[in-house]
């Protein structure tokens, strides 16, 4: 009984053995990211909200705030997956998307559209990930304050350094990313 059996072969295998194969040889690969555990395990335990603290900053460059809208702001992710990894954050401290007032939600989507165009232009990206993790169970690192991640992606941009070496390779410093995006807003 090996893991190399095809699905077609499983149909010819006794039920007990087929179940054992599914348990011992799952059809899904698991990639472990232990370097993120310390960040995730402290989520929600902070005395204050990082996004609320950032928006109160009087130094946008130091806070990595690229743009301030009427209801939302764009900030660089301090621990990016890729160069250009940004977040659109409502000014109001809300923990669920449906609580966001329509005017703020509309502005968030307009900023996402603009940021998408800027990232495609500046980084010559092949695509863009947009996403929100609402709540701790959904993987939100800052569960109490919703935010949308927007990051450029390239075909085959995951490499052994991230997957095996547990390290991210970024071709530019955050200060350079900040300057490149700030010029477009």
Q: Where are the domains of the chain?
A: 45-182
pLDDT, position 5: 46
Contact between 83 and 89 (Cβ < 8 Å): no
pLDDT exceeds 50 at position 69: yes
Q: What is the DSSP string of 125-175?
A: -SEEEEE---SGGGT-SSTTS--EEEEEE-TT---HHHHTS-----SS-HH
Contact between 105 and 146 (Cβ < 8 Å): no
pLDDT, position 32: 58
Confidence of residue 81 (pLDDT cuts 50, 70, 90): confident
* pTM of the predicted protein model: 0.73
Q: Where are the alpha helices (DSSP H) in the chain?
A: 7-10, 15-24, 37-41, 50-55, 60-63, 102-123, 160-163, 174-182
* Paired residues of 72 in beta bridges: 90
Question: For the residues 126-143, what does the mean pLDDT come to?
Answer: 92
pLDDT exceeds 50 at position 9: no
Question: For the residues 158-178, what does the mean pLDDT come to?
Answer: 70
Q: What angle do CA 165, 120, 101 make, to 5 degrees?
A: 100
Question: For the residues 83-98, what does the mean pLDDT come to?
Answer: 96
Task: Please tell me which of 55-64, 75-84, 168-177 the model is most confident about, judged by mean pLDDT.
Answer: 55-64
Of 128, 121, 116, 180, nearest in space to 153 by CA: 128
pLDDT, position 33: 63
Distance CA 146, CA 93 (A): 8
pLDDT, position 85: 95
pLDDT exceeds 50 at position 10: no
Question: For the residues 124-144, what does the mean pLDDT come to?
Answer: 93
For residue 147, indicate whether it is catalytic: yes
pLDDT, position 139: 87
Please tell me which residue in 67, 98, 147, 149 is annotated as part of the active site: 147
- Answer with the residue of higher pLDDT: 136 or 34: 136
- CATH architecture of the domain with range 45-182: 2-Layer Sandwich (3.30)
pLDDT, position 171: 73
Of 113, 114, 107, nearest in space to 89 by CA: 107
Distance CA 132, CA 68 (A): 19
């Amino acid at each position: 009984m090996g893991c190399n059996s095809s699905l077609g072969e499983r149909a010819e295998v006794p039920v007990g053995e087929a179940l054992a194969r599914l348990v011992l040889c799952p059809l899904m690969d698991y990639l472990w990211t232990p370097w993120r555990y310390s960040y995730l395990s402290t989520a929600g335990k902070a005395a204050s909200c990082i996004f609320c603290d950032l928006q109160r900053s009087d130094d946008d460059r130091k806070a990595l705030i690229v743009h301030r809208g009427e209801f939302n702001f764009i900030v660089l992710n301090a621990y990016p997956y890729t160069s250009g990894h940004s977040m659109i954050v409502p000014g109001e401290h809300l923990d669920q998307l449906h609580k966001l007032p329509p005017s703020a939600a509309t502005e968030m989507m307009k900023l996402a559209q603009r940021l998408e165009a800027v990232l495609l232009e500046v980084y010559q990206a092949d695509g863009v990930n947009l996403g929100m993790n609402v709540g701790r169970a959904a993987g939100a690192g800052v569960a109490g304050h919703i935010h949308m991640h927007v990051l450029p992606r390239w075909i085959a941009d995951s490499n052994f350094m991230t997957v095996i070496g547990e390290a991210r390779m970024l071709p530019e410093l955050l200060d350079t990313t900040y300057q490149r995006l700030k010029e477009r807003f």
